[in-house]
């Protein structure tokens, strides 16, 4: 098979970029030909793949998005007939398979309006980025070819179908996978002791963990507010927050609620495996997340999870019975009641953690990559006939 993968750039920390690199590597190991169309992609990231630079206008975000979509289509058109299958990982205009990792921008804007005040809504209204993304997505989802859409969850499929009339049989659900080797059980006790000692946490203190960037949409405000409402035995729980974002307004909130000594913002953490070992419960009451791979990581780390229904991973949590799903948006009272009840039942906490770890052990990166290659193989057969 001769495959083309289209995306803006290589980012070793980005979810869909890592997925693209894994797929490229798997194809190369099968001795397939791989061509990558990207604005920036180091050849060392995928040795053996042919990289085609795609011009992109620098500056405003809307210019980057629009120029990449147009330039990628132009570069690809000159070689289009040579490829058995073209996979788009970013919003482009020519592909056989679209990995809709962010599902639908219109759905994200709808969720954002739940949080924004009048000025925020005006900002969205007058920002050309949103109009351009919506217009490109309209072209993608209303395409009349046999294009297939790979989504991370059934939630992502439903979000797209609320705005675009795409038939069920054009979707394939492939959730993210997890590298279980990052969470060795024989290291867990040592990691737990080391991290708790380094952070000044008592050995038996209840510890909640949040991992993820974009604090507002991930529900950090509700999580901090719930700290003031926790009842024994969770009333002195400490919250660890790892991720990129501005912590200052949330630190100020914690001071107003007199829980500032129980909240630690740690900034971005490249490999949070030891944090999962140090925590007792993973909390992510997110408003919007097409999946939430950090939930899967928490499960692999043996943690019970509390996740908002706005995350695609909530489907997995309910299906595998490895945690609790709360409303989205969640009230601090509901979140506090859920967390308090879990800490009041240590046997249930252990059961949920064990079930999550077992489920994550079956949801490996290798298996998910193989699933994606299967979709590509079927598409290649279809386009060749």
19-63 per-position pLDDT tens digit: 899 999 999 999 999 999 999 999 888 999 999 999 999 888 999
- Name the pairing type of β-strands 238-242 and 263-267: parallel
Tell me, what CATH number does 39's domain have?
A: 3.40.50.2000
Supply the pTM of this predicted model.
0.88
How much of the chain, in percent, has pLDDT values that exceed 70? 96
Backbone phi, then psi, for 117, in 5-degree steps? -85, -170
Q: Bridge-partner residues for 172, per DSSP?
A: 150
pLDDT at 143: 86
Least confident of 3-12, 109-118, 292-301, 332-341: 109-118
- Name the pairing type of β-strands 148-151 and 207-211: unpaired
pLDDT above 70 for 116:
no
Q: Is the peptide bond before 216 cis (omega within 30 degrees of 0)?
A: no
b/e sequence 220-256, b meaning 16+ C-beta within 10 Å: bbbbbbbbbbbeeebeebbbbbbbebebeebbebbee
Q: Are residues 145 and 221 in the same domain?
A: no
pLDDT at 202: 84
Q: Are residues 47 and 151 in the same domain?
A: yes
Q: Are residues 278 and 165 in the same domain?
A: no
List, in order, residues 6 or more apart from 114 with CB less than 8 Å away: 287, 329
Q: pLDDT, tens digit, for every residue of 320-364?
A: 999 999 999 999 999 999 999 999 999 999 999 999 999 998 889
How many Cβ atoms sit within 10 Å of the Cβ of residue 122?
A: 11
Helix runs in 30-180, H state only: 61-77, 105-112, 118-126, 128-141, 154-163
Backbone phi, then psi, for 40, in 5-degree steps? -145, 115
List, in order, residues 6 or more apart from 68 with CB less than 8 Å away: 8, 39, 54, 56, 90, 92
Q: Are residues 249 and 308 in the same domain?
A: yes
Q: pLDDT, tens digit, for every residue of 174-208?
A: 999 998 888 998 999 999 999 999 999 987 899 99
Q: Are residues 185 and 151 in the same domain?
A: no
Helix (H) / strand (E) containing 356 = helix 346-362
Q: Are residues 272 and 124 in the same domain?
A: no
Q: Are residues 99 and 204 in the same domain?
A: no
Query: Total structural domains in the chain?
Result: 2
Q: Are residues 201 and 118 in the same domain?
A: no
List, in order, residues 6 or more apart from 385 with CB less than 8 Å away: none
Q: Are residues 353 and 271 in the same domain?
A: yes
3-state secondary structure of 144: coil
pLDDT above 70 for 118:
no
Q: Bridge-partner residues for 151, per DSSP?
A: 173
3-state secondary structure of 380: helix
Q: pLDDT, tens digit, for every residue of 144-178?
A: 888 999 999 999 999 999 999 999 999 999 999 99
C-alpha pair distances (Å), 337 with each of 26, 221, 311, 325, 382: 45, 16, 20, 12, 52
List, in order, residues 6 or more apart from 238 with CB less than 8 Å away: 201, 205, 206, 207, 208, 262, 263, 264
Q: How far is CA 179 from the centre of its chain?
A: 15
Q: Are residues 109 and 253 in the same domain?
A: no
Q: Are residues 239 and 318 in the same domain?
A: yes
Q: Are residues 278 and 309 in the same domain?
A: yes
Q: Which domain holds residue 112?
A: 2-177+365-384
Give the mean pLDDT of the chain.
92
Beta strands in 179-262 (DSSP E): 207-211, 238-242
């Amino acid at each position: 098979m001769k495959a083309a993968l289209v995306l803006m750039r290589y980012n070793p920390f980005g979810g869909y970029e890592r997925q693209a690199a894994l797929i490229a590597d798997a194809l190369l190991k099968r001795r397939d030909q791989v061509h990558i169309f990207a604005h920036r992609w180091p050849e060392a990231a995928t040795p053996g793949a042919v990289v085609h630079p795609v011009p992109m206008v620098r500056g405003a975000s809307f210019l980057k998005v629009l120029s990449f979509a147009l330039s990628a289509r132009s570069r690809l058109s000159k070689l289009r007939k040579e490829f058995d299958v073209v996979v788009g990982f970013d919003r482009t205009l020519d592909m056989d398979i679209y990995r809709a990792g962010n599902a639908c921008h219109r759905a994200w804007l709808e969720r954002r309006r739940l949080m924004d005040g009048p000025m925020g809504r005006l900002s969205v209204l007058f920002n050309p980025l949103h109009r351009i993304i919506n217009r490109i997505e309209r072209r993608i989802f209303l395409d009349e070819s046999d294009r297939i859409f790979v989504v991370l969850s059934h939630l992502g499929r439903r979000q797209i179908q609320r705005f675009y009339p795409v038939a069920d049989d054009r979707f394939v659900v492939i959730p993210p996978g997890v590298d279980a080797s990052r969470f060795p059980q024989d290291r867990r006790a040592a990691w737990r002791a080391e991290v708790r000692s380094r952070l000044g946490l008592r050995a038996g203190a209840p510890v909640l963990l949040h991992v993820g960037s974009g604090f507002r949409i991930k529900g950090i405000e509700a999580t901090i507010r719930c700290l003031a409402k926790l009842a024994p035995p969770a009333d002195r729980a400490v919250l660890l927050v790892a991720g990129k974002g501005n912590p200052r307004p949330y630190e100020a909130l914690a001071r107003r609620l007199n829980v500032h000594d129980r909240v630690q913002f740690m900034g971005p953490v490249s490999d949070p495996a030891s944090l999962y070992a140090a925590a007792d419960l993973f909390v992510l009451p997110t408003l919007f997340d097409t999946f939430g791979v950090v939930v899967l990581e928490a499960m692999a780390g043996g943690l019970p999870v509390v996740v908002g229904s706005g995350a695609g991973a909530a489907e997995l949590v309910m299906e595998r019975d490895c945690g609790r799903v709360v409303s989205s948006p969640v009230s601090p009272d509901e979140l506090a009641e859920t967390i308090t009840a879990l800490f009041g039942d240590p046997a249930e906490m252990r059961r949920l953690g064990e079930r999550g770890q077992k489920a994550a052990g079956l949801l490996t990166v290798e298996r998910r990559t193989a699933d994606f290659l299967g979709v590509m193989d079927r598409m290649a057969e279809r386009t060749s006939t």
